[in-house]
Amino acid sequence: MLIALMALLPMSGEAQTISRNKKTYTTKTPPKTEKTTKSKQSDSSNSGGKSKKPPKTTSQQSSSRSKGMTQAQKKQIIQQAIDDMVFVEGGTFSMGLEADGTHISSVKQVTLSSFYICKYEVTQELWQAVMDRNPSIFYNHPKNPVECVSWDDCQTFISKLNKMTGKEFRLPTEEEWEYAARGGKKSQGYKYAGSNDLSLVGWYDGNSGNKTHAVGTKLPNELGIFDMSGNVYEWCSSRHSLSRRDPAWIVCVYRGGSWFSYDCWCEVWESYTMSPSDELNRLGLRLAANTLSVSTKEQSSSESAAPQKKDPFGNVKDIDYDKYLPKDNKDKDKKKPDTNDQDLRKPTKNNKTKMSNDVNNDQHGK
């Protein structure tokens, strides 16, 4: 009798058939184990008896990504990026040459002029300081490199940055990128940017933990540039047409490997292409420039904005142009001519009388 009653009861984890209002529902009861009981107790103890907060909605996440910065904070972040630019002396190198000397057919000799490149990848805080938003998937880390930006997005970012600074920043060309990654004239011929051991100089799939990391936390290369192998790929300015019949079919170059990459994808000679409108959560950018001086257009516009003060006779008065010039030019010392060093042979106001007296003396034979 007892055995018959037990047979009628459902076993743990067994399907149960429930009839309600002539409708049949099949459910499955999970087995009660000590593990699930402990997890519930730990949840209740951690919450202190209070209900947990619901997860953030998409609108809440997007608003947290676009939190505003003060103008002082923006100025400080942008100025730091300018200070982090590294001078790369021009030279000639074998582009595409692998460490073992293979694929010689694709190698070409390239000669470059000197240029500047930033020692760090563009960070999330720098992007936000310029664009007032953060598109990154790993968005809550301001010192991490920005990602999920297309080549077109980068052009917009650089254009706004140039208007804010008066500089002429740009993306590095593919040739400049590889030359800088190899170490320029200081190159030691490493496979990766700064070492033959990728774990020392880059974040890749073997040590990244499937995420980006703060820039500059690994060792730099020979030029003092960080993360050119791993962390995030970097857009270059170089573009190629994939079809002779359709020149509009354009792809853009990106280099360097990422946190998602195998070690072989992070070698300094590896090159990849993608549509300029595409974006990846492992693709960012690095700034480059021909010079760090203020652009000619910006300087001419600032000079033309200086008002011309005139006296009652219509003559232009002396104007303090220093306050209209860029800050870089304000601190330059202006050496005033020493009156004691004047050349007496030149007819200045002070020595014109003396020269005429000397001529008269010579004529009279004195």
> Which tens digit of pLDDT belongs to each residue from 215-225?
999 999 999 99
CB 133 within 8 A of CB 157: no
What are the sequence ranges of the domains in the chain? 62-289
Average pLDDT for the chain: 75
CA gap 88, 180 in Å, rounded: 7
Look at residue 245 in the predicted model and tell me its pLDDT: 74
Q: Give the Å distances, CA to CA, from 349 to 119, 236, 244.
A: 55, 60, 72
Give the rounded percent of residues in the chain with a pLDDT score beyond 90.
Answer: 55
Task: Pick the more confident residue, 253 or 360.
Answer: 253
Tell how far CA 201 is from the center of its chain. 18
- Does the pLDDT value for residue 269 go beyond 60? yes
As a whole number of angstroms, the distance between CA 128 and CA 134 comes to 5
Question: Residue 263 has what pLDDT?
Answer: 96
Residue 21 pLDDT > 80, yes or no?
Answer: no
Q: What residues contact 317, with CB distance under 8 A and at least 6 apart?
A: 309, 310, 311
Q: Tell me, what's the pLDDT at 339?
A: 40
Whether the per-residue pLDDT at 148 is higher than 90: the answer is yes
Asked whether 235 and 254 are in contact (CB, 8 A), the reply is yes
Tell me what pLDDT residue 102 has. 66
Q: How confident is the model at residue 303 (pLDDT cuts 50, 70, 90)?
A: very low
Q: Give the model confidence (pLDDT) of 85-112 as tens digits.
A: 999 999 999 999 887 766 666 799 999 9
Q: Which of 255, 246, 261, 254 is nearest to 275 (CA)?
A: 254
More confident residue, 324 or 103: 103
Q: How far apart are CA 217 and CA 71, in angstroms?
A: 28
- Which of 178-192, 208-222, 252-266, 316-330 is least confident? 316-330
The tens digit of pLDDT for each residue in 113-142 reads 999 999 999 999 999 999 999 999 998 999
Average pLDDT over residues 145-159: 98
pLDDT greater at residue 331 or residue 196: 196
How high is the pLDDT of residue 334? 42
* pLDDT of the residue at 297: 56
Check residue 222 and give its pLDDT.
Answer: 98
pTM: 0.65
pLDDT digits (tens, 9 = 90+) for 33-89: 333 333 333 333 333 444 344 444 444 444 445 567 899 999 999 999 999 999 999
CA–CA distance, 337 with 305 (Å, rounded to integer): 29
Count CB neighbours of 126 within 10 A. 25
Distances (CA, A) of 37 to 29, 196, 333: 15, 51, 77
CA distance readout (Å), 125 to 84, 187, 274 = 15, 31, 25
Burial class (CB in 10 A: 0-12, 13-18, 19+), 215: buried
Which fold does the domain 62-289 belong to in CATH?
Answer: paralog of FGE (formylglycine-generating enzyme) (3.90.1580)
Summarised one tens digit per residue, pLDDT across range 203-244 is 999 999 999 999 999 999 999 999 999 999 999 999 988 877
Ranges 4-18, 29-43, 70-84, 284-298, most confident: 70-84
In this prediction, residue 230 carries a pLDDT of 98
Strand ranges for the chain from DSSP E: 15-20, 23-28, 85-88, 91-95, 108-112, 115-118, 169-170, 233-241, 250-255, 271-274, 283-284, 288-289
For the chain, the helix, strand and coil percentages under 3-state DSSP, each to the nearest 5: 35, 15, 50
